[in-house]
Amino acid sequence: MTAEPLTPTEIERRLGDLPGWALEGSRLTRTFRLPSHFAAAALTVHIAQIQDELNHHSELTLGYDTVALAVHTHDAGGAVTEKDLRLAARVAAAAPAHGAA
């Protein structure tokens, strides 16, 4: 089953519920700053668990005290879909527990 791409207008409207997330090109992006490298690594592992639960994986980059994501759906030609918004919402909900800002 192929996911349907969302329109830029729909994406921007839905991003109102996801502070800190942005549409950059054809991807949703977010960078979290954390209090330490250990906290950033822990958030990275938590995000990997969420991705496995949703069977939807993003570009995930661990820096010293940052975690960056770039999310899009390959099955939709690299466009943003409902799957991406679900992943973004789950990550946004999990991040504060790790001290993310």
Residue 28 lies in a domain: yes
Residue 43 lies in a domain: yes
Helix (H, G, I), strand (E, B) or coil at 82: helix
Residue 1 lies in a domain: no
> Under a CB-based contact definition with an 8 Å cutoff, are residues 67 and 43 in contact?
yes
pLDDT given for residue 2 in this prediction: 61
Q: What is the pLDDT of residues 32-80, one digit of tens each?
A: 999 999 999 999 999 999 999 999 999 999 999 999 999 999 989 999 9
Query: pLDDT band at residue 101, thresholds of 50, 70 and 90?
Result: confident
Domains of the chain: total: 1
Residue 50 lies in a domain: yes
CATH, residue 57: 3.30.1360.20
pLDDT for 1 beyond 60:
no
Q: Which pTM does this prediction carry?
A: 0.94
- Maximum distance among all Cα pairs of the chain, rounded to whole angstroms: 40
Residue 3 lies in a domain: no
Residue 93 lies in domain: 8-98
Residue 2 lies in a domain: no
CA distances from 9 to 26, 38, 42 (A): 13, 37, 34
pLDDT given for residue 96 in this prediction: 95
b or e along 72-88 (b: 16 or more beta carbons within 10 Å of the residue's beta carbon)?
Answer: bbeebeebbbebbbebb
